[in-house]
Amino acid sequence: MVGHASRRGRALQATDISRPEYFLKVVDCQLACPAHTPVPEYIRLIADGRYTDAYMINWKSNVFPGILGRTCDRPCEPACRRGRVEEEPVAICRLKRVAADNKSDISARLPKAAPKNGKKIACIGAGPASLTVARDLAPLGYEVHVYDADKKAGGMIRSQIPRFRLPEEVIDEEVGYITALGPVMHLERRIDSLKSLLKEGYDAIFVGTGAPRGRDLDLPGRKEAAANIHIGIDWLSNVSFEHTNKIGRRVIVLGGGNTAMDCCRTARRLGGEDVKVIVRSGFEEMKASPWEKEDAIGEDIPILNYLVPKAFIHEGGRLTGMTFEKVKAEKDAKGRRQLVPTGEPDQHFECDDVLVAVGQENAFPWIERDIGMAFDKWDMPVVHQETMQSTIPNVFFGGDAAFGPKNIIWAVAHGHSAAVSIDMFLNDQDIAVRPPPGVTVISQKMGIHEWSYDNDIANDRRYKVPHRDKAQSLKDVKAEVELGFDQGLGFKEAQRCLNCDVQTVFTAKVCIECDACVDICPMDCITFTDDGEEAELRTRLKAPALNLGQDLYVADGLPTGRVMVKDEDVCLHCGLCAERCPTGAWDMQKYLIDITQAGPKCRTR
């Protein structure tokens, strides 16, 4: 023996790859997506020109592919493995739009309403969370009633997202797929008492009322200058519904979130020539997505930071400007970051209008406190993180109404969870025991060195989405700025995907330890070495495994008594290990992980 046996630490448990969680974690994008959309699967279909198939995978998982393909917060992209092996992640979000833009008629693929099962569900609010519940439950035979105060369904998707980011046709289309499934839509009907709704005999109630209250800033001058101070989300909704069509020449937007970005860009289109965003903290700390900040800056909107609003300045009942205190970030004794005044004189900025986008909150004045629902110390209903159930067993929450403002994709994920809970609850299942995901494993081997996925890694850098000409964009609040990838660009961007769902699966008993996989691996992921404890093992791999967020795949049972250790962190899923393996000890297997939705699969007990 070649002297391996010496340094034998306590053995690390061999990896159990039969647990769906193991390989789900390797598909970073899918894991990061709240709805766990199988991203690589639909990206491959886009590359293949099968846009309708790609759309349907999205539709099943995230319900609003066309809408999300333009507006999603994209938690998948910072997670994307491509971002760890080169500079930028795959443009997952905008590829979703490619599927939506290029699909053909999907009506034949939509679920058909099942015979009524006699159970009635009420969904309060017609935003993304409620519509997801309706979409999941209506085809199962539930009689779903959706209530909303607005004239049209869509919730914040319709009221708050500016049309230049999301055309109304797209909302109509995707909301329409759901209303066509037969839920009873009670529009322009505001629910103002949960107590009385509970008496109407619904078997379950879903609350998806969003976070409809924009936070205000109570500063000197607020009352006097009220005519020119607007709450961001209310103002956006007035623009969306065409109640507002102009704003002053000089506009200050307060706040650093995505709503602030929507406000400033909308203001630029309604007559704002000198529009600036002013934030309390640093530019880097802003909550807005980096690409939204980039788009705002691209429209000549400066973002000024470390300025805390102090007063609205007015003259004769008219707003003339605002003053700000200059601050800097410092660590206090406990190491917490704090904003402290720099001592410089206050800064004054002249303006005609101010848009306040400093956050929003959910509010439940319509839920009576004597109906048995528990509220926490912030006066928010107590909702279970996973089941979405409130303390009234048949009342469920989702979207921003559940845990405060998040985004559309979280609302969809909550909607799916709540629909599963409602379906289980009404079928006498224990909703605390969540249904496991469905896993389909398919070997990708087609021939000696042929795979049924494209394993040739594209070296291309991330492609930019073409934009409409800026001068033209700024003239029309309804002209969509992003033109989307065309099919050619969509193909090229899709080719950047690393197919992280095609897993490297190792069978120790046929391995002859020839090192072929170790030698070929472009990322130095694979090591054959003496067993040891994980922390120590991570230091003596072919390349150090420093990303503790990523697992080591460990297999024992080799002839020399060593273990095979694969660091999943930067694996390209190129399959070269399997191509150069003489015995088939490595195989490339697609693990399609499908989150179980409401329906027979979640009621198996």
Give the residues lining the site for another protein (CB under 8 A): 1-3, 84-86, 449, 455-457, 459, 512-516, 518-520, 522-525, 543-544, 546, 559-560, 570, 572, 574, 576, 579-583
Question: Least distance in Å: CB of 545 to another protein?
Answer: 10
Which residue, 32 or 543, has its beta carbon nearer to another protein? 543
The bridge status of strand 353-356 relative to strand 250-254 is parallel
Which residue, 187 or 514, has its beta carbon nearer to another protein? 514
Residue 190 CA to residue 233 CA, distance in Å, equals: 19
Question: Least distance in Å: CB of 490 to another protein?
Answer: 22
Residue 557 CA to residue 547 CA, distance in Å, equals: 26
Q: Which two tokens stand for residue 38?
A: 């199988």
User: What is the dihedral angle through the alpha carbons of 443, 445, 446, 450, rounded to the nearest 10 degrees?
Assistant: 150
Which ranges of 287-360 would DSSP assign to H, the alpha helix? 290-298
Question: Least distance in Å: CB of 153 to another protein?
Answer: 45
Question: Least distance in Å: CB of 527 to another protein?
Answer: 11
Whether 469 and 298 have beta carbons less than 8 Å apart is answered as: no
Please report where in the chains the tokens 């769902």 appear, as a residue.
501
Angle between helices 258-269 and 232-240 (to 10 degrees): 50
Question: Least distance in Å: CB of 555 to another protein?
Answer: 18
Question: Least distance in Å: CB of 98 to another protein?
Answer: 24
Which residue, 513 or 594, has its beta carbon nearer to another protein? 513
Of 510, 504, 522, 605, nearest to 559 by C-alpha is: 510
Which ranges of 334-458 would DSSP assign to H, the alpha helix? 400-403, 408-425
DSSP state letters, 383-419: --TTT-B-SSTTEEE-THHHHSS--HHHHHHHHHHHH
User: What is the dihedral angle through the alpha carbons of 554, 557, 563, 565, rounded to the nearest 10 degrees?
Assistant: -30
Which residue, 337 or 449, has its beta carbon nearer to another protein? 449
Cβ-in-10-Å burial (0-12, 13-18, 19+) of 602 comes to buried
What are all long-range contacts of 598-602, with beta carbons under 8 Å and residues at least 24 apart?
A: 598/136, 598/137, 598/140, 598/416, 598/419, 598/420, 598/422, 598/423, 599/136, 599/140, 599/423, 601/435, 601/438, 602/420, 602/423, 602/424, 602/429, 602/435
No. of H helices and E strands in the chain? 22, 24
Which residue, 233 or 545, has its beta carbon nearer to another protein? 545
Question: Least distance in Å: CB of 496 to another protein?
Answer: 11
The most distant pair of C-alpha atoms in the chain lies apart, rounded to whole Å, by 93
Residue 420 CA to residue 599 CA, distance in Å, equals: 7
Which residue, 88 or 300, has its beta carbon nearer to another protein? 88
Which residue, 340 or 546, has its beta carbon nearer to another protein? 546
Which residue, 101 or 569, has its beta carbon nearer to another protein? 569
CA distance readout (Å), 171 to 97, 146, 152, 465, 486: 13, 17, 10, 21, 21
Question: Least distance in Å: CB of 448 to another protein?
Answer: 8
Beta strands in 299-389 (DSSP E): 303-304, 307-315, 318-331, 337-341, 347-350, 353-356, 360-361
Question: Least distance in Å: CB of 452 to another protein?
Answer: 15
Which residue, 105 or 456, has its beta carbon nearer to another protein? 456
Whether 577 and 567 have beta carbons less than 8 Å apart is answered as: no
Which residue, 84 or 165, has its beta carbon nearer to another protein? 84
DSSP state of 188: T
Which residue, 356 or 576, has its beta carbon nearer to another protein? 576
Kind plus residue range of the DSSP H or E element containing 47: helix 39-47
Question: Least distance in Å: CB of 584 to another protein?
Answer: 10
Question: Least distance in Å: CB of 245 to another protein?
Answer: 50
Q: Which two tokens stand for residue 564?
A: 């095979």
Residue 398 CA to residue 498 CA, distance in Å, equals: 33
Question: Least distance in Å: CB of 40 to another protein?
Answer: 17
Which residue, 420 or 525, has its beta carbon nearer to another protein? 525
Which residue, 327 or 517, has its beta carbon nearer to another protein? 517
Question: Least distance in Å: CB of 556 to another protein?
Answer: 17
Which residue, 181 or 514, has its beta carbon nearer to another protein? 514
Give residues with Cβ within 8 angstroms of 45, minimum separation 6. 51, 53, 54, 57, 99
Question: Least distance in Å: CB of 519 to another protein?
Answer: 4
DSSP state of 598: S
Question: Least distance in Å: CB of 464 to another protein?
Answer: 21
Which ranges of 145-299 would DSSP assign to H, the alpha helix? 156-159, 168-179, 194-198, 232-240, 258-269, 290-298
User: What are the backbone angles phi and psi of residue 516, rounded to the nearest 5°?
Assistant: -60, -40
Which residue, 342 or 547, has its beta carbon nearer to another protein? 547
Cα atoms in the 13 Å half-sphere on the side-chain side of 539: 4
